[in-house]
Structure 1
Amino acid sequence: MKRTVFTLVLTCALGMGTLMAQSGVRQTQRSQANRITQGIATGELTRREACQLTKQQKRIQKTKRAAKADGVVTPGERAVLNRQQQQASRAIYRQKHDGQNRP
């Protein structure tokens, strides 16, 4: 009985960890999309910069779909996604603060 309960608890915990990691990726994507939209609205991003950043977000989304294709996002795949999102975040910051404004 103890073993069954332990197995059930462990399975739920692992499932929640995967769900939380996926929601973290989703939340970061949403946040970065909002930052790009805000940069366009304020004129901090030129059209070209916005297009480049949007394409980068689409590549991350494609990587995320590929990682989830087999039903399990491995720690290695999660690390790749996190690294891509960190690079995208830095790119958004640099483009918004590079002094170029949309005419």
Structure 2
Amino acid sequence: MNQLLRTLFLTATFAAAGSTIAQPATPRVDQREAHQQQRMAQGVASGQLTPRETQRLEAEQARIERTETRAKADGVVTPAERRHLAHEQNRASRHIAKQKHDRQRRH
């Protein structure tokens, strides 16, 4: 029991310490990611996106998230990195729109 309490205390201590480490904020990127996920979920629910289209769009979103993580790794997201993320998100947005409005439907 004592070992369990010590483990819980250490876990809570490390979690608290980890939460105080400053991460560069990218609220626009995060907001756009959430909106694009909603658009894709709506497309899946309505049948506008096929499973294969959804898989490709999800992979594209994962690539954007990895790019964001790399940009944050050094503690600063530079204006060039923000432009690159915006460019990737613009392209992903176009892909979502194109796939939702093509004539393919989930059967």
State the distance in 2 between where 1:37 and 1:82 align. 21
Which structure has the highest helix share of the two? 1
> Which position in structure 2 is the counterpart of 1:97?
101
1:77, CA displacement in angstroms?
0.5
Residue 75 of structure 2 aligns to a residue in which SS? coil
Give the structure-2-normalised TM-score.
Answer: 0.77
Whole-Å Cα distance in 2 between the matches of residues 82 and 24 of structure 1?
Answer: 9
Indicate the structure (1 or 2) with the bigger Cα radius of gyration. 2
- Stretches of 4+ aligned residues off by more than 6 angstroms: none
List runs of 5+ in structure 2 lacking aligned partners: 1-23
CA RMSD between the two structures? 0.9
1:65-84 per-position Cα deviation (integer Å, ceiling 9, x unaligned): 00000010001100100000
Counterparts of 2:78 and 2:28, CA distance in 1: 15
- Give the deviation of 1:54 after TM superposition: 0.2
TM-superposed CA distance for 1:90, in Å, is: 0.2
Q: How many residues align?
A: 84
Identity %: 48
Residue identity opposite 2:74 in structure 1: D
Shift of residue 91 of structure 1? 0.1
